Amino acid sequence: MRRVIALKRLEDLIRSTRKNLQSAGISEYLLEAELIWMKALNLDRANLYLEFNESPNVRFIEYAEGLVSRRMKREPLAYILGKIEFFGKEFNVKPGVLIPRQDTETVVEEAIKILDDYGSASTTVFDVGCGSGIIGISLAIRYPHARIFSIDSNLQACILTKQNAEKLGVGSQLQVVQSDLFTAINCDADLIIANLPYIPTSDIESLEPEVRVFEPRAALDGGIDGFSVTKRMLTQSSGLIKSGGAILLELSPELTDIAKNQIMEVFPNSIFATQRDLSGQIRVAICTLPKLASDYKY
């Protein structure tokens, strides 16, 4: 038997949603309550406010209740909404693929500095551990002549990257490759960008439930020291990165010394640098390779 729902004003429903989310330990309950109702009613924020004194149809209320229930179980909001904004563009996200973080925008900004130095020259970029495709797609939009390979071992990530590339108009420019790091790659690159798992195995259980329970562990777990996957990638990249090229690694600040030591072991003549994110934490390790004498034009 279908239950009867007493119709309430939208403003009251949102207020109730806020209380429920707050009771579940959601810190951003004020914002998230509005986003959930925007999703349920298919409204932007301005029109949501215009509807505050209206009573939504029962089916919309039931749909919103289902979304709220999912969030109260600590399912990430991005999975519930099915989208997230990154570098000024809206990307689709879905369970089974790591949710993009704002910190990764720092990686894109560093990549732009490097690629701008190439001017109009054609470049090849490897985006390894591409997830939903945010890095490669953001660069493809800015550099239409760049040849970009988005690489991930996760089939779901590859499918989602293709969908996002088509959605944002760079589907024909991006080459999506399902591969364990570079095992399926047979060309070299001017720039390698790696956003690989970098959380030590022992730290996984202490993560927030949104991450620990719902996001794919393979995209989080970096092994005993948090650097095992990246170490393997660096070893493989030694035969793929062009002279004068660069490698960008997203990492946690705690891995800076490990990253430097490993980079200098694989590329002893390279220059090592770091870049901080908006919160002031070291977020990117930068390895720049020297040019060979034959690369210079006299």
pLDDT interval class at 231 (50, 70, 90) = very high
Question: What percentage of the chain exceeds 70 in pLDDT?
Answer: 95
- pLDDT for 193: 98
Is the separation of the CB atoms in 194 and 249 below 8 Å?
A: yes
Give me 75's structure tokens: 């399912």
Dihedral angle computed from the Cα positions of residues 215, 217, 220 and 225, in that order, rounded to the nearest 10 degrees: 160
CATH code: domain 87-295 is: 3.40.50.150
- pLDDT for 7: 73
What residue ranges do the domains of the chain occupy?
Answer: 10-73, 87-295
- pLDDT for 4: 52
* Average pLDDT of span 143-154: 96
- pLDDT for 191: 98
pLDDT interval class at 2 (50, 70, 90) = low
Could you tell me which of 46, 37, 42 has the C-alpha nearest to residue 15? 37
- pLDDT for 118: 87
* Average pLDDT of span 192-213: 97
**10-45 residue pLDDT tens:** 999 999 999 999 999 999 999 999 999 999 999 999
Question: What is the DSSP annotation of 74-141?
Answer: T--HHHHHTEEEETTEEEE--TTSPPP-GGGHHHHHHHHHHHHTTTTS--EEEEES-TTTHHHHHHHH
First-to-last alpha carbon distance for the chain, in angstroms, is 84
**Model confidence at 52: pLDDT above 60:** yes
* Average pLDDT of span 210-232: 97
- pLDDT for 294: 55
- pLDDT for 138: 98
Question: What is the DSSP annotation of 179-234?
Answer: -STTTT--S-EEEEEE----B-GGGGGGS-HHHHTTS-GGGTB--SSS-HHHHHHH
Neighbours of 85 (CB within 10 A): 11
- pLDDT for 297: 53
Could you tell me which of 285, 260, 262, 258 has the C-alpha nearest to residue 274? 285
* Average pLDDT of span 185-203: 97
- pLDDT for 298: 46
* Average pLDDT of span 109-113: 97
Dihedral angle computed from the Cα positions of residues 92, 136, 155 and 157, in that order, rounded to the nearest 10 degrees: -30
- pLDDT for 197: 97
Spatial separation of the C-alpha atoms in residues 117 and 127, rounded to whole Å: 19
Spatial separation of the C-alpha atoms in residues 51 and 149, rounded to whole Å: 45
Is the separation of the CB atoms in 224 and 231 below 8 Å?
A: no
* Average pLDDT of span 230-245: 96
- pLDDT for 291: 85
**Model confidence at 63: pLDDT above 60:** yes
What average pLDDT does the structure give for the chain? 95
